[in-house]
Structure 1
């Protein structure tokens, strides 16, 4: 990682500035780093690689991670909110669906599943009802039904 020394007054924050890097910057409690975005071309390529690999051997872990994270970000972008938390361990978690936002502890509406099931739901390879009925999805709370939101395509 390169270190860049910005001129005073340039608008860039430095260590010791309120909100800048260092002990009073991103490392402090309550600071939120910028949200990372996966390039749509990279996300689509990862989903395509997963589709191809799901017919045989699993894709490489970084490809699977990108596919999961990109589809989770798509869900959160299309259905913004904080009423439901969707977890796909160990790759990602997002909050979505308008409604009461949870900020601490276990949220009241949680969906959790594995990466392959999540991608199958996101791409339409399986239905919400089938995934829930077979126990591949754990959904708790009255706003934890994603059947009307999936597939994403």
Structure 2
């Protein structure tokens, strides 16, 4: 999926966002996600790729490790387990240690509540075990 901009036939923000997205969550995940895009959902996938990945994730103010840890906390607060699993892998890719992931989730648990925190720990541990980061 490579959308065309109205200006010059290319969409540099989309391409930059796609590259960052692949670096953070993995090329295989992104390719699967993009292959499943319907005509109905294409606009939101394009927007997320441009705005989240091309504009915000590519900014210099925070490193990717920090952005990843922030995402884990926010996704815990929102109860978004699927996205949390994706971003646990991204956090590891971005250099976060299992200890930092655990501490970020513990911090989230204090402020978001035990049910949200327990679910986040279950999701994160499953991903980390699957990927061989913890036993």
Is TM (by shorter chain) over 0.5?
no
Higher strand share: 1
Higher relative contact order (CA 8 A, sep 6+): 2
TM-score (norm: length of structure 2): 0.26
Higher helix share goes to which structure? 2
Tell me the TM-score normalised to structure 1 length: 0.24
Which of structures 1 and 2 has the bigger CA Rg?
1
